[in-house]
Chain A
Amino acid sequence: MSDSLALWTTERIQALAPDDQVKKSAQALAQPAKWQATGRQANVIWGEHQGSASAPYRVVVDLDASTLKCTCPSHKQPCKHALGMFLAAQSSPKAFRAAEPPEWVQQWITNRQAVAARQAKADHDKPVDAKAQAKRAAKREKLVDQGVGALALWMDDLMRQGLAGLAAQPHSFWETQAARLVDAQAPGLARRVREMETLLHSGTRWHDGMLERLSRLHLLLEAYQRIEALPPDLQEQVRTQMGWTQDQATLRAQPGVRDQWAVVGAREEEQDRLRVRRTWLWGLNTHRSAMIVEFAQPNQGFETLLPLGVALEAELVFWPGAVPQRALVKQEERRKPVDQLSGYGSLRAALADWGQALARSPWLDYFLLPLENAIPSRRNDTWVLCDAEKTCVPLSLAENDGWRLMALSAGYPLTLIGEWNGETLTPLSLLTAATPGVGLLALGGPR
C-alpha cells in the first residue's frame, strides 16, 4: 500500500477529535519532543508519553487497519494522546524511525489478529444446526408477533384518548412499553417508543412530530403484519427497522459494489445509551451513497478511522433493503485524496431522488445530498443553500460555520455535500476553488 500517512493532513486528523477540548490538548502534545520510544513499521506507528501517571501512556496507530489505541483511562476517544502522537507523526515523520515493533506493539497486533481470526472462525465453524436455528427463528417470530400486537393495542388506546393527555404521563408509561418490546426481541420498535417520549419537550408543536412518528410506527407494524406479501427487499427493510440484525460474515461473502468511495463526512448521535456514528461515503463513479455505521460504549471510542476527503478504492457490501444505505468495506485497495466530485446539478433533481427513495422505504431518515453549483446565503437571519435555479433549502449549522461557508464561497458556487433529513440540510463537507490544493474540506465536526 502506498504511504497512507501522507493522506492524513492535520485537518483530517483533527476532525477525529470528539470535541474541541481534546483537539486543543492534542495540539499541545503534537510535538515529537513529547514522545519517547517512537517507531514505525510499514503503517503501524507507536510511541510513549510520560503523563501524570507513573507509567507512560502508550499509543499505537495502525493506518492499514484504521485504528488508534492509547492505554490512558480517558473517557473521550480518540484521546488527546492518540491524536497528539498522530499529529506529531504527521508533521515530523522523521521522528518516527523505521524499527522493529516493541513487545507491547507486537502483542497488540497479535491480539487484534487473534480476535479477528477467532471471529472469522466462529462465523465459519458455527455448527449450522439448521433445526435449532429454525426453532430459534420461529420462537423470535412468535415473540415479535405478540409484541407487535400489544404495541398496536397500546397505540389504539393512545389515539382514542388523545395526544393531549401524553404530557401528563409518567416516564414509566413509555419505559414499560419499551421494555416489553425489548423482551419481545424487537429493539427497533423499543427505540422508536423511547424516542417519542423525548418529543414531548421539543416545543409548542410537539404533537405534530408525535403524530408523524406514531403514524410511521403504525405503517411499520402494518407492514410487518403483512410481511409475506411484500417484495423481498422491502421485507429486509422492515426486518431491519424492527431490529433484526445481519450476520456480517454472511454479508462479507456477498458481491459488493466497487468504486472510488469518497469519505464525505460523519455524524454522531446517542441511541439507547450508546454512541452511534454514521460515516457517509459517496461513490465518485456510481454516484451511490453508503453509510458506515459504528457503535461505541460511552466510555470507549470508535475504533476505525476514515479520513475525510480521501477516496477509498474499495468494494462495499450493502445491507439488503429497499433503499440500501448501510454498508461495510469488504475489501480496500488503495486510497487517494479527493480533488473533484460530481453530484446533483439541482435541488429539484436531488429531492426527486429523495422522493423516490421514500416511496421505496417510507422510514428513511437520512439521505446524502452532494450538490454542485450551490451558493450559501443568509435570508431572514437563517442560512439557506440555493442551487443554480435559485431553489433554496434551509441549512442546519452553527452560526460561525455559516459565515465560514459564506466566506469560502465568496458568492461563487461551490460543491456542498450535506445530509438531508426531509426538512433541513446539514453540511458535511465542501469543495471550492477558494482553497486550492486542499480538496474536500470539512465544515465543523462530526456532530
Chain B
Amino acid sequence: MSHWETLAANALVGTDRAPALPPLKDTPLDVTLTRVQDLPPPRRLLAAAAIVALWQRAGMEPPIADQPLPDPAPQDDLALCSPRAARFLQRLLVEGLHDLVPEYLAALARRRHGISPLAMPELFDYATEHPSLCPLIIPVLGELGRWLAAHNPAWASLFVTPDVSFLAAQWETTGRKGRLTLLAQLRASDPAAARDAIAKTFDQDPAEDRAAFLAMLADQLSPADEAFLESALEDKSKRVRAVAADLLARLPHSALGQRMIARIQPLVQSARSRLDFSLPSQCDAAMERDGIQPKPPPGIGERAWWLAQIVAAVPLSFWTQLIARQPSDLVKLIAKSDQRAAILSGWAHAAGRGGDAAWCEALLHQWIEDPWISREHPTTLAEFSQAEELAERIPQDRLEAWMIELLKRKQVPENEAQSTLMILSQYRRPWSAAFTRAVLDRMWNLPVQLPYPLASAWIACPVELCGDPSVEPQFSKRKGRLRAPGISGKMRHALETLAFRREMLDALKD
C-alpha cells in the first residue's frame, strides 16, 4: 500500500485505534516524514497527510500518451462561413428553431461554404435524431466535418453511405425501426436489393411490418417491382393488400391498371360531349383482390363507392384517349353528372398518385369552386380525394397566380375559404414575393367576426416558414392594429420569423 492509502485507512478508523505511521525508509519523502513522528497521534497523522498530499499534488507526473494522436483533418476545399453566419446556425440549434435549419443548410450549399466548427456538435446531435437532414448536411460538411463525425461513434454512420452488400447482410438481424432506415438507404442506392431484402423475410414478418416495408417501395418504384407486388395482392392482411394495390396503381402499364380499364369500359358511355357512367353491379373476389374495399364509408352509396375506387385505379391517360379533350373539359363534362362525386374523387385520388399538371389543376379548380363532398359526411370523400396534395403538382407560377386571385376576392363563401386555406396550409414550396404579399395582405384585412374554423386555418398557414422574407419590411412598417383578434399574434410571429430569416439569409451572403 502507498503511504497515502495507509494514512487514509488509519484516518478512517481514527488514531485511537490505528495510531501508527506507515513504516519509513530513507527516501527524501520518508526522511521528511520522520520529522513529525514524535507528535501526538492525531497531529502526527494530519502532518504526515499534509506532507504526502502536497508531495503528490506538486509532483504529479502526467502520463505520456501511449496511443498515437489522431491524424489531422485533410485540407478542406470548402471555405468556412462567416462568423456572423456561424452564429446564426448556433442560434437555430440552441433556441430550438429547427424548422429553419434546412433553409440555412441549403443557402450555405448554394454559397459553397462549410458549416462552422462551432456549430458542428449540436448539429450532428440533432441529425442523429433527424436523419432526413443528413443529405442536406453532406454538401456543406467539408473534410473537417467528416473528420469530426468519424471520431464520435454516435455520429460516425451519419454521413457515410455503407456498402450495399453490407446493408443487405444486416437485414435479418435488425429490428423493425432499423429495417425501415436500412430500406431507405438500400432503396436509394440499389432498389432491387431493397426488394429482395423485403422478400427474404416477408412470410415470417408480422402484418404491420409487411405493410410498412412494402410501402417503402414507393421510392424508386418501377415495373421491376410489379411481380412482387402482384404476389402481395394475395396476402392475408387487408392492409398489405391495400398497400400493394396502391403501388400497382401507380405503375403506368401495370396489369392491375389494365384490369381496372377492363372493368370500367362496360360502365362508360362516351361521346364528344358526353360522359355517362353506370354503377357496377357487384364487387367480386377479383375486385377485392385488386384492392377494392366492398364496404363503403358513410356518405356514399355502396355501388358509387366501388365505382370511385375503380376510377381511382384507372390510368388517367385512358380518359384522354377515350375522348380527345383536355382534362379541364372532362371535369366540366362530369360536373352535372349523377356520379360526379364518385368520378371526381376517383380522378383526384389518381391525380394525387402521379397525374400530370393539367389534371391536377383542373381538379383543384373544381374543388375550390364546388367541392364534391356530401354535406352530412364532408370528411369521407375529402379524405379519399386528398385534393390538397394536387397543389404540389401544379407549376408554381400558375398555382400562385390563381391563388392570389382567390385571396383577393372580397366576399367568399365559408367553405370556399376553408378549401383555399386547406391548400395553403399544405403548400410547402418556397413562396414567391407576390404570393407572400397577397397572403399577408389578406391576413391583415381579415374581418373581426372570423368563424373559428377559418381563424384556426389561418393560424396554421405556413407563411413564416415558406413566405418570401424580402416582403417583411413593408408589413412591419404598417401602422394600425389587426381587426381579427386571434390573428394579430399570428401576424406578429410571422413577421418576426420572416425578419429573422431575412437577417439569416443576408448573413449567409457574406
Seen from chain A, the residues whose Cβ lies within 8 Å of a Cβ on chain B are 10-11, 20, 24, 27, 155-165, 207-208, 211-212, 214-216, 218-219, 222, 347, 351, 354-355, 358-359, 362, 375, 377-379, 384, 386, 389-393, 399-400, 403-404, 406-408, 410-412, 422-423, 434-435, 437-438
Contacts and interface: CB of A to CB of B under 8 A. Distances in A.
B151 A358 contact: no
Contact of A160 (B41, B60, B64): B41
A248 B487 CA distance: 60
Contacts of B59: 355
B148 A407 contact: yes
Nearest to A421: B57
A214 B42 contact: no
Contacts of A207: 8, 11-12
B39 to A, nearest CB: 10
- Of B7, B46, B87, chain A has the most CB atoms within 10 Å of the CB of B46
B298 interface: no
Given A27-B91, A358-B58, A410-B72, A159 B46 contact: yes
B67 A163 contact: no
B13 interface: yes
A392 B95 CA distance: 35
Nearest to A385: B62
B509 to A, nearest CB: 16
B50 A215 contact: yes
B125 to A, nearest CB: 7
Interface in B1-50: 4, 7-8, 11-17, 40-43, 45-47, 49-50
A211 B72 CA distance: 43
A111 B69 CA distance: 57
A215 B148 contact: no
A162 B65 contact: no
Contacts of B62: 347, 351, 391-393
B206 interface: no
A207 B7 CA distance: 11
Contacts of A408: 117-118
A10 B46 contact: no
B152 interface: yes
28 contacts: A20-B94, A155-B46, A157-B42, A158-B42, A159-B15, A160-B14, A160-B15, A160-B42, A162-B14, A163-B12, A164-B12, A164-B14, A211-B11, A211-B49, A215-B53, A218-B43, A347-B62, A351-B60, A362-B50, A377-B65, A392-B64, A403-B120, A403-B152, A404-B118, A406-B148, A411-B147, A434-B80, A435-B117
Contacts of A218: 43, 46-47, 49-50
B117 A407 contact: yes
A412 B147 CA distance: 12
A408 B4 CA distance: 40
Interface of B: 4, 7-8, 11-17, 40-43, 45-47, 49-50, 53-54, 57-60, 62-65, 67, 69-73, 80, 83, 87, 91, 94-95, 117-118, 120-122, 124-125, 144, 147-148, 151-152
Contacts of A384: 65
A322 to B, nearest CB: 14
A190 B50 CA distance: 19
Given A215-B49, A354-B58, A379 B14 contact: no
Contacts of B64: 389-392
A437 B40 CA distance: 63
Nearest to A23: B94
A382 to B, nearest CB: 12
A441 B349 CA distance: 57
B83 A438 contact: yes
Nearest to A422: B57
- Of B7, B17, B121, chain A has the most CB atoms within 10 Å of the CB of B121
Contact of B16 (A160, A216, A423, A437): A160
Contacts of B80: 434-435
List the 4 closest A-B pairs by CB distance, nearest first. Answer: A162-B14, A411-B72, A407-B117, A215-B49
Nearest to B91: A27
Contact of A400 (B16, B73, B121): B121
Nearest to B152: A403
Contact of A159 (B42, B58, B125, B148): B42
Given A390-B64, A435-B117, 18 more contacts: A10-B87, A159-B11, A160-B14, A162-B13, A162-B14, A208-B4, A208-B8, A211-B7, A211-B11, A211-B49, A377-B70, A379-B67, A403-B152, A406-B148, A411-B69, A422-B57, A434-B117, A435-B80
A212 B87 CA distance: 44
A355 B11 contact: no
B151 A378 contact: yes
Contacts of B54: 216, 219, 358, 362
Contacts of B69: 375, 377, 386, 390, 411
Contacts of A386: 65, 69
A24 B11 contact: no
Contacts of B42: 155-160
Given A378-B151, A407-B144, A411-B69, A161 B53 contact: no
Contacts of B41: 159-160
B122 A156 contact: no
Contacts of B4: 208
Nearest to A408: B117
A163 B11 contact: yes
Contacts of B8: 207-208, 211
B73 A391 contact: no
B73 A411 contact: yes
A301 B147 CA distance: 41
Given A407-B148, A410-B144, A359 B58 contact: yes
Contacts of A379: 65, 67
A148 to B, nearest CB: 14
Contacts of A162: 11-17
Contacts of B67: 379
Contacts of A422: 57, 60
Contacts of B65: 377, 379, 384, 386, 390-392
- Of B4, B40, B70, chain A has the most CB atoms within 10 Å of the CB of B70
A157 B41 CA distance: 11
Contact of B121 (A24, A208, A403): A403
Nearest to B124: A403
A375 B124 CA distance: 22
A435 B60 contact: no
A375 B122 CA distance: 22
Given A161-B16, A351-B62, A390-B65, A212 B49 contact: yes
Contact of B83 (A347, A355, A435): A435
Nearest to A436: B80
Given A156-B43, A403-B152, A411-B70, A214 B49 contact: yes
A355 B61 CA distance: 11
Contact of A407 (B16, B17, B121): B121
A408 B148 CA distance: 10
A347 B64 CA distance: 11
A440 to B, nearest CB: 14
B11 A403 contact: no
Nearest to A401: B121
Nearest to B44: A159
Nearest to A435: B83
A411 B146 CA distance: 13
A162 B8 CA distance: 10
Contacts of A158: 42
Contacts of A407: 117-118, 120-121, 144, 148
Contacts of B11: 159, 162-163, 207, 211, 214
- Of A211, A212, A434, chain B has the most CB atoms within 10 Å of the CB of A211
A362 to B, nearest CB: 5
A404 B121 CA distance: 6
A218 B69 CA distance: 43
B57 to A, nearest CB: 5
A377 B63 CA distance: 14
A411 B71 contact: yes
Contacts of B152: 403
